[in-house]
Structure 1
Amino acid sequence: MSWFATPSPNGRSLATGALIMLADPLSPAAEAYRSLAANLQFAYADRQLQTIGITSAAPGEGKSTTVANLAIALAQGGRRVIVVDADLRRPGQHTLFGLESQQEGLANVLLGEYPHLPLQDTAAPGVRLLTSGTATADPLEALGSRRFDHVLALARAQADFVLVDTPPAGALADAAVLAPRLEGMLLVVSAGRTKRDMARRAREQLERVNANLLGVVLTDVRGDDKLYRY
């Protein structure tokens, strides 16, 4: 399992939601996301790795921000990327990408309201977004349905990478339902927030369902921290 570090940009937490890849593309934090994107592409070049879930041990650790910035880094490398906001309880990708309100999205497809994916273009070229949607559905039941496999199949046909923003693995069962159906998972933990036992529980939760845990993304790492490495 690999470790990836993303430093705090100018002392700010990445959990605040900044798209550093667009706001400050020459910063150490942006370079860290480019490094993560390169590692995912080259380290796993000999195996199928198209659908990747990103989860965290608890809310507020920078999971959704990591998804969005990683998507932009992959797209800037010439890849077609679809971001799927599967955090039906606390969706945030539409806000991160500057979309003023929720649009029809994943929940609507899972309830059979759409035969296709209502994807939205974002300000980042090459990145399209499937929001969590406007329909009301039981998250665990909806994400566990066969329709989610159909969503993945449709997304795979239209993108080189499909990044799935999942709920925290340490707090909810939703991520454990999704993980076995994805080709890889990344676990996001905050250097200044996540307690060790909470991170361990999240990892064990993923291992129990035989998730392919690709690595841990350590957010909010100080530039002088000894863990700041790639």
Structure 2
Amino acid sequence: MLFKKKQKKMLRDNNKRKLVTISSPKSPVSEQYRTVRTNIQFSSVDQDLRSILVTSAGPGEGKSTTVSNLAVVFANQGKRVLLVDADLRKPTAHYTFDVNNITGLTNILTKSATFDKAVSSTREPNLYVLTSGPVPPNPAELLGSKAMEEFLVQAYKEYDLVLFDTPPVLAVADAQILANQCDGTILVARSGETEIDQAVKARELLNTTKSKLLGAVLNNKKLESSQYYYYYGQK
């Protein structure tokens, strides 16, 4: 009985981690991700966005799913995309893309591994993943370090776009710290669950950084057709 329960849980987890832009690229939801991609590109006509941070107000709002699907649709354009799991507290990218998490971002920042050794290729052309690596005792310090600045310089040389998945804004300061070093930020909210005052507070905290808040993604909004609708709106 216990084994069957574990099997069912693993099946649910696997289903949750399936990326719709890969499993159903022609679906309405995948099309909405491409719409988000287009709006991001139009929001930066005068500036070439090289790095985008994706976060949320609180946990469970879909930021990791959103950034992963955005990475796929940007890579579909032929861009060399690097998805960085900068959620050094509860990383998930290694599960989503089925790669190991033995070596990752923390190893690069602590100089215990080279860039080339830490980055993993994926089954999607042009899409690469840098997992979190071992969970460190000082995530915020690492993300705000000189080593992170050096990491971005190197990443820009090899990739057209770098996407960061970070912890929720209201939980820890990690997203704010890293937003200072990114060209733009996207805030993810979950329909029916994210409180308005939480979203407002998250926006205010992000506005205190030097990063440009590009807009917000509202997910899990059900339509009559039972399809999921993802909407992107500039602030």
TM more than 0.5: yes
Q: Cα offset for 1:141?
A: 1.1
Q: Which has the higher contact order (CA 8 A, sep 6+)?
A: 1
Task: Please show how residues 1-230 of structure 1 align to structure 2 within 5 Å.
Answer: 16-99=16-99, 101-117=100-116, 118-134=118-134, 136-224=136-224
Is residue 51–residue 182 contact of structure 2 (8 Å, CA) maintained in 1? yes
TM-score, with length taken from structure 2: 0.86
Distance in 1 between residues matched to 2:30 and 2:123, nearest whole Å: 17
Gaps of 5+ in 1: 1-11
Q: Cα offset for 1:211?
A: 2.5
Q: AA paired with 1:220?
A: N
Distance in 2 between residues matched to 1:43 and 1:138, nearest whole Å: 34
Q: AA paired with 2:184?
A: G
Distance in 2 between residues matched to 1:197 and 1:135, nearest whole Å: 31
Runs of 4 or more off by more than 2 Å in structure 1?
Answer: 15-18, 114-117, 134-137, 227-230
Aligned-residue sequence identity (percent) comes to 42
Task: Say if 1:137 and 1:157 are closer, same or farther in 2 by CA, change over 3 A.
Answer: farther
Q: Cα offset for 1:142?
A: 0.9
Distance in 1 between residues matched to 2:79 and 2:128, nearest whole Å: 11
Asked which structure has the greater CA Rg, the reply is 2
Is residue 55–residue 188 contact of structure 1 (8 Å, CA) maintained in 2? yes
RMSD of the TM alignment (CA)?
Answer: 2.0
Is residue 186–residue 217 contact of structure 1 (8 Å, CA) maintained in 2? yes
**Does 40-49 or 26-35 show the bigger shift?**
40-49
Deviations 1:164-197 (A, max 9, x none): 1111112111111111110000000001211111
TM-score, with length taken from structure 1: 0.87
SS at match of 2:198: helix
Q: AA paired with 1:134?
A: P
Distance in 2 between residues matched to 1:179 and 1:159, nearest whole Å: 19
SS at match of 1:157: helix
Q: AA paired with 1:194?
A: T
Is residue 71–residue 81 contact of structure 2 (8 Å, CA) maintained in 1? yes
Task: Say if 1:194 and 1:162 are closer, same or farther in 2 by CA, change over 3 A.
Answer: same
SS at match of 1:175: helix
2:7 paired residue number: none
SS at match of 1:72: helix
**Does 209-218 or 178-187 show the bigger shift?**
209-218
SS at match of 1:168: coil
Task: Say if 1:229 and 1:66 are closer, same or farther in 2 by CA, change over 3 A.
Answer: closer
Task: Say if 1:202 and 1:229 are closer, same or farther in 2 by CA, change over 3 A.
Answer: closer
